Chain A
Amino acid sequence: MDSLVKKYSMPDKNGHFEEFGGKYVPETLIPALDELEQEYLKCKNDKDFKKEFFNLLKHYGGRPTPLYLAKNISKELGFHVWLKREDLNHTGAHKINNALGQILLAHRMGKKRIIAETGAGQHGVATAAVAAKFGLECIVYMGEEDIERQKLNVFKINLMGAKVIPVTSGSKTLKDATNEAIRDWVTNVENTFYIIGSSVGPHPYPMLVRDFQSVIGTETKKQFKDITNNELPDRLVACVGGGSNALGLFYPFIDDDVKIVGVEAAGKGIDTNQHAATLTKGEFGVLHGAASMLLQSIDGQVALPYSLSAGLDYPGIGPEHSYLQKTKRVEYSSATDNEALEAFKWLSEKEGIIPALETAHAVAYLKNKKNNIKKNEHVILNLSGRGDKDINTIAKELGIEL
């Protein structure tokens, strides 16, 4: 999982990406985080663990996912657009990669009860699936508002035997679901494993989620070379909420001469107060166990983010993204609800691929910035998830009754 890393070596042993990251959690969780870190470091280089993980990715998850040259949009844009088809994974998004990795850890640690938070429901579905497979009890915390906009995923989670607990505090979205999951973990820490869905939270989570997801980038690198005979693509693009699909693609290319772009949700516009563009508009802060950039008020209260896409509707961001922004290794851009909706329709019509609304933000970047991208560039976009779950939201936006 880490064999491709040459120079870049983050986080440090205390889980810091310079000032970002760390473990800002109640004392009760410290022993659990230490235990998790030790187990992970043991497994990371363990042949049997790796074999089991990659077997599951292949036979349960459906890997490798294709790297597909989207010729129609490439022609329209004037550069080569390659889609890394994470939407073709079991459960419909990249989330399954991480859920499989973490449930293997839980299994090894003998934990009988799984908890998770979810926004768009994709991580909830992935966690419910792997918990069912391993025969473990599973509780998914989900904001009331997200339950409303992602009914299909709630239904799927229930079908697989997991329980969805509605969260009614705060903005009733991902941020509050995460608070509730942390409170549950503090209370049930002895028998419970918390499967965090993105590269957020206290150390070691941002690191291990990134590592489990980095199968995306490792595969992509090999596929691109095999197909094109070129060493490297010119540019990578991915949407960023917490940031796990993006890091999964980016990480194996971090030391390479490749331009890397993350796309945040600009909601109704970054000059309004209704967006989720943490890196574009946030300030240094601490939330959910890590120091990172954060959308917040002048008094340090966490701001209520906004995005039409439930998976990007989060006021924080993984600490490694804050670090990659600070060091300018990754460029961060943003796309609005409307731009994402347009891109959603565009990709569906041109390529016959319906992307998740989250992913559509990255697709929108290609259209928005096409003049900044050189002719014949090879651009790889992480098509992180499929759009089935968003059909109701999209129909509503288009004024169509299903």
Chain B
Amino acid sequence: MNRIKELFSKDSKKLIVFITAGFPNKDSTKDLVMEAIKGGADMIEIGIPFSDPQADGPVIQAANEIALKNGITLLEIFEQVKEIRSQTDIPIALMGYYNPILKMGTMDFIKKCNDAEIDGVILPDLPLDESVEFCNNLKDKNISPILLVAPNTSKERIKKISNLAGELIYAVSILGITGNDLSSKNNLENYLAKVKENSETPFMVGFGISSNKDVKWFNNFSDGAVVGSAIIKKVLKDRKKGVVENFVKNLKK
């Protein structure tokens, strides 16, 4: 069974941790992922750096820029994931933008995901309308396409999106980019209820979730919470060993 499906078939609340590959050093990916796992992460998202990350705020933009300056490539990310995979059985998803994948060739990309035992793929700039073939090709290899829904997505569209995704969808918490402030709890509650009611799959929530308090709150309304910018911010400030582990421990408390 796909590791994501297995994880989300459990009743527990999941903490998903986002790490930008090749940041802060080219070979940091594995260390940071292993720290997040030690801290208690249930699933890992590895960000593929891109020159023009349109859905990301200043923090993840900065991490992308540093990683690209370090010279990280998609091919190297697959090698890093293989190394990580040899030490852990945690679900791993890749998150990135469509162009580097197109350039590699979508079928080649999917084959390499399969070889590296990647469980899911999240592409914020490949919405439902453009992604049917790509999603089906991923599913053929037992990899979950994790499609996104947003607060302004209609009920009918949430149904279609979750139907195509199959195992898991990603509810963007806000109208906005990663690292933005959260909107009012009242709006969020209504929105998450709408997702729950219309989604045919479990869903995790992300964007702007930065503290233990946030995670706990979101756990009341969803199957899991994604923390990204807040982790990257910690690493930007302090590159000492253990920073990610301690922060994740605190989020998971």
Binding site for B on A (CB under 8 A): 14, 22-28, 30-32, 169-170, 175-176, 179, 182-183, 186-190, 283-289, 294, 296, 298-302
Contact = CB atoms under 8 A, between A and B. Distances in A.
Contact of A286 (B57, B73, B99, B104): B99
A35 B140 CA distance: 34
Nearest to B72: A299
Nearest to B154: A31
Which has the most chain A C-beta neighbours within 10 Å: B50, B124, B129, B176?
Answer: B129
Contacts of A170: 51-52
A27 B149 CA distance: 6
A299 B54 contact: no
B188 interface: no
Given A299-B73, A301-B50, A26 B127 contact: yes
A378 to B, nearest CB: 41
Contacts of B193: none
8 nearest A-B pairs in the assembled complex, by CB-CB distance: A300-B103, A300-B100, A28-B150, A187-B176, A301-B51, A27-B150, A302-B51, A27-B148
9 contacts: A26-B55, A27-B150, A27-B161, A28-B172, A30-B129, A30-B150, A186-B54, A187-B177, A189-B175
Interface in B63-117: 65, 68, 73-74, 97-104
B180 interface: yes
A31 B51 contact: no
Given A26-B150, A27-B150, A31-B153, A300 B101 contact: yes
B102 A27 contact: no
Given A22-B129, A26-B55, A300 B102 contact: yes
A65 B100 CA distance: 43
B185 to A, nearest CB: 19
Interface in B35-68: 50-55, 57, 61, 65, 68
A185 to B, nearest CB: 10
Which has the most chain A C-beta neighbours within 10 Å: B54, B73, B154?
Answer: B54
Contact of B52 (A14, A287, A298): A287
B126 interface: yes
B125 A179 contact: no
Chain B, interface size category, equals: 35 or more
Given A26-B127, A301-B100, 20 more contacts: A14-B129, A23-B127, A23-B129, A24-B98, A24-B125, A24-B130, A25-B54, A170-B51, A176-B52, A179-B53, A183-B55, A183-B177, A186-B177, A187-B180, A284-B102, A286-B98, A288-B54, A299-B103, A300-B74, A300-B102
Contact of A302 (B52, B65, B102, B128): B52
Given A31-B154, A183-B177, A25 B102 contact: no
B47 to A, nearest CB: 14
B127 A24 contact: yes
B184 interface: no
A283 B68 CA distance: 20
Contacts of B151: 28
Contacts of A285: 99, 102-103
Contact of B125 (A26, A283, A299, A302): A26
A301 B50 CA distance: 6
Contacts of B176: 28, 186-187
Contact of A25 (B99, B100, B103, B127): B127
Nearest to A32: B152
Contact of A22 (B52, B104, B130, B154): B130
B52 A179 contact: yes
A30 B127 contact: yes
Contacts of A25: 54, 125, 127
A170 to B, nearest CB: 7
A172 to B, nearest CB: 13
B233 to A, nearest CB: 17
Which has the most chain A C-beta neighbours within 10 Å: B101, B125, B148, B151?
Answer: B125
Contacts of B148: 26-27
Contacts of B100: 299-301
A179 B60 CA distance: 14
A301 to B, nearest CB: 4
A359 to B, nearest CB: 28
Which has the most chain B C-beta neighbours within 10 Å: A26, A27, A183?
Answer: A27
Which has the most chain A C-beta neighbours within 10 Å: B74, B103, B157?
Answer: B103
B176 to A, nearest CB: 4
B103 A298 contact: yes
Contacts of A189: 152, 175
A123 B126 CA distance: 28
Given A24-B126, A26-B55, A27-B153, A296 B177 contact: no
Nearest to B151: A28
A109 B98 CA distance: 31
A187 B175 contact: yes
Contacts of A294: 99
Contacts of A284: 102
B52 A175 contact: yes
A381 to B, nearest CB: 33
A35 to B, nearest CB: 10
Contacts of A22: 129-130
Contacts of A175: 52
Nearest to A35: B152
